[in-house]
Amino acid sequence: MAHAAPRNRGMIEQGRTTDVFDARTHRMARFVLPVLAGLVYGYWAAANRRYGGPVTGWNLLFGFLTALVFAVVLITLLTVGPKLRRELHALSWAAFAGIAAGFLLSQSGTSVYRCAALGVGVMAGTFAIMFYRFYTTEDAEGHRLE
């Protein structure tokens, strides 16, 4: 049977949650996780581009450059995004997700219209989800309620 993590009286009165990791671990994860996500994205894009053929040097270079761009944009979005108003914050996440999905599909050689349609669909869904999240976790001035 699962039990709640123990908290002292001060944490309960202040409404804080138990934090398992220290601040250093959170700072490291803020950069390590986007880099790992970038490597997965770069591998995926390179695999789509070679379409089952042999792995070449150009394919590896393409994968690493794609991973680098993806990680840099994701780290920038994680850093700058919380400073934006909720509408722009949601729009930036939506644009990032839509462009990323459309680019992945474009590497497989499908139609530009199909890639654009997928990108717009992912963008619309991501905007709706992220705007709802930011709208329900911020006050009218944009301060987090958490």
Query: Is the predicted pLDDT of residue 1 greater than 60, yes or no?
Result: no
59's CB contacts (< 8 A; 6+ apart) are: 46, 49, 50
pLDDT score of 22? 81
Query: Is the predicted pLDDT of residue 4 greater than 90, yes or no?
Result: no
pLDDT mean across residues, the chain: 87
pLDDT score of 120? 96
pLDDT score of 86? 86
Coil vs helix vs strand at 138: strand
- Convert the pLDDT of each residue in 18-64 to its tens digit: 677 788 888 888 889 999 999 999 999 999 998 878 888 999 999 99
Locate the domains of the chain by residue range.
Answer: 23-83, 85-146
pLDDT score of 117? 96
pLDDT score of 29? 86
